[in-house]
Amino acid sequence: MNAQQILEYIKQHCTADDWTITINEKDSHETRFAQNSITQHIAGSNIEVALQVSFGDKTGVGNINQTDAESIKNLIETAETMAKLNQPDPEFMPSCPAADLPQVLNRSEATLQLAPQEMVELVRQSIANGEKHPAQVSGMTEKHRYYSILCTSNGFYGECESTEFGHSMTMKKDAVETKVAYSGKDYARFDLNQWLDQLNSQFNSLSAPHVFEPERIAVILRPAAVQEFIGYMGWMMSRRYADEGITPYTDKLGTDFFGSNFSMVSTLKDDELYASPYFHGGIPSVEFDWVKKGSLFTLPTDRFWAKKTGSSPSTSYNLFIPGDGVSEEEMMKKAGRGIIINNFWYIRTVDMKSGEFTGMTRDGVLYFEDGIIRHAINNLRWNEIPHEATRRILASGVPILTSPDTKVPAMLIADFNFVDKTDF
């Protein structure tokens, strides 16, 4: 059965009081390379049909990836049986009603038309570039097409088609190791030569690293590092967890909790950014200001907690951080002395209530003094509280797409707390 036939079958045969059907289709091609050779190469498609049902306030969910009538019949029986045997959910919310959805374009024809042969050619050129140094190159070229449908017994219907293209390259020779990565919905916006230039520039800047002892020092976080740093902080931003006293955001809504030159939003207005037209089972996406010039404006809130607190449901369907357009050279002059970080790695929570995280630098670290880059240095460990770090932002750059749903600028942050070093 195709997607519409599955919907019709479930509508006709489901006996539950309330239901939500989600159908997700995915078609992917992934070419993985390492040490100047393709090591894995994967293609295939899949479908997932999820049915959530309820009898009164007792719920059950079934997921399946087979689409014949017998399998869909079993799916209905499974979900309904689970619901009937479940206990009532005191936080039950009925499915969403019909809604007007925003128009978003998440589909790229260029990505859809990209042939496997062309993807292999991108890999070949990436390796050929590495061999000139000569260095070992590893990475992945991938393209995906996603299609999803959400339909509820209360009248909601939404669908979304999206595409994704990614190409990453890590180049390594002896102690020099660095990476660049593009990931977006549109292959047409990808220029391999531009990314090879950036990779070569980073690679050439990292020769002969000096030993650098950890200290509190100014950092320029390039956009990939900002995505990691702020992204992990974002995972903690839940209205419920704040209200229950578990995170740093307790009683902070409406206060100047972040630095005054820090804002972050989810937006439908940037055509480079992926944006789902709906969330939480059928709530139309709208513009969300999470932090507005330092003030904590909104926290992601699920439907039950929104009802309980008299607020509106919200979710971070993408992340955009505006910047001041300051160049890296100007940032170096402003700070005088500091380090430039290409990326972070293995960020993990240290303490939920204080909002403290730890992580390592990765893909190359540079030391600058008197406003100019002096030399590469070893990688460093940091322990930081990101929301406090935003109060030390001295400047920011132009927002850059770092993943299909994230666009952030480089940031100059004072007194970043490095606590340990590694020997490479």
Which residues in 360-399 contact other proteins (CB under 8 A)? 360, 362, 379, 381, 383, 385
Q: CB count, 10 Å around CB of 337?
A: 13
SS3 annotation, 323-348: CCCCCHHHHHHHHCCEEEEEEEEEEE
Q: Which amino acid is at 414?
A: A
Of 32-40, 182-190, 392-400, 408-416, the window that binds other proteins (rule: CB under 8 A) is 32-40
> Closer to other proteins at the Cβ: 123 or 332?
123
Decide the pairing of beta strands 216-221 and 338-351.
parallel
Using CA atoms of 151, 155, 156, 158 in order, give the dihedral in degrees to the nearest 10.
60
Rounded to the nearest whole angstrom, what is the least distance from the CB of residue 49 to other proteins in the complex? 10
Residues 6+ apart with CB under 8 A from 133: 171, 173, 200, 203
Helix (H) or strand (E) holding 284: strand 283-284
Would you count residue 34 as binding other proteins (CB under 8 A)?
yes
Q: Find the binder of other proteins among 6, 16, 140, 226 (CB under 8 A).
A: 140
Rounded to the nearest whole angstrom, what is the least distance from the CB of residue 20 to other proteins in the complex? 12
Q: Per CB under 8 A, which of residues 290..309 are in contact with other proteins?
A: 304
Helix (H) or strand (E) holding 183: strand 176-184
Exposed, middle or buried by CB within 10 Å (0-12, 13-18, 19+), for 89?
middle
Q: Per CB under 8 A, which of residues 195..234 are in contact with other proteins?
A: none
- Cis? peptide before 134, omega within 30° of 0: yes
Would you count residue 40 as binding other proteins (CB under 8 A)?
yes
DSSP letter at 378?
A: -
Rounded to the nearest whole angstrom, what is the least distance from the CB of residue 246 to other proteins in the complex? 4
Planar angle of CA 388, 389, 392, nearest 5 degrees: 105
Would you count residue 124 as binding other proteins (CB under 8 A)?
yes
Q: Show the site string, 240-279: x = touches other proteins by CB under 8 A, - = not.
A: ----xxxx--------------------------------
> Closer to other proteins at the Cβ: 49 or 104?
49
Q: Find the binder of other proteins among 5, 39, 113, 327 (CB under 8 A).
A: 39
Q: Per CB under 8 A, which of residues 403..422 are in contact with other proteins?
A: 417, 419-422
Compute the distance between CA of residue 343 and CA of residue 278 in angstroms, rounded to an integer. 31
> Closer to other proteins at the Cβ: 136 or 154?
136
Rounded to the nearest whole angstrom, what is the least distance from the CB of residue 89 to other proteins in the complex? 5
Q: Show the site string, 319-338: x = touches other proteins by CB under 8 A, - = not.
A: --------------------
Q: Per CB under 8 A, which of residues 45..84 are in contact with other proteins?
A: 45-47, 50, 59-66, 78-79, 81-82
Would you count residue 20 as binding other proteins (CB under 8 A)?
no
Q: Find the binder of other proteins among 17, 30, 256, 270 (CB under 8 A).
A: 30
Q: Which residues of 134-146 are buried (b: 16+ CB within 10 A; e: fewer)?
A: ebbbbbbbbbbbb
Rounded to the nearest whole angstrom, what is the least distance from the CB of residue 88 to other proteins in the complex? 9
Of 188-196, 238-246, 276-284, 395-403, the window that binds other proteins (rule: CB under 8 A) is 238-246
Would you count residue 44 as binding other proteins (CB under 8 A)?
yes
Helix (H) or strand (E) holding 71: helix 69-85
Compute the distance between CA of residue 272 and CA of residue 410 in angstroms, rounded to an integer. 18
Q: Find the binder of other proteins among 70, 348, 370, 372 (CB under 8 A).
A: 348
Rounded to the nearest whole angstrom, what is the least distance from the CB of residue 266 to other proteins in the complex? 23
Would you count residue 130 as binding other proteins (CB under 8 A)?
no
Compute the distance between CA of residue 323 and CA of residue 264 in angstroms, rounded to an integer. 10
Q: Find the binder of other proteins among 23, 326, 341, 347 (CB under 8 A).
A: 347
Using CA atoms of 340, 266, 323, 226 in order, give the dihedral in degrees to the nearest 10.
-10
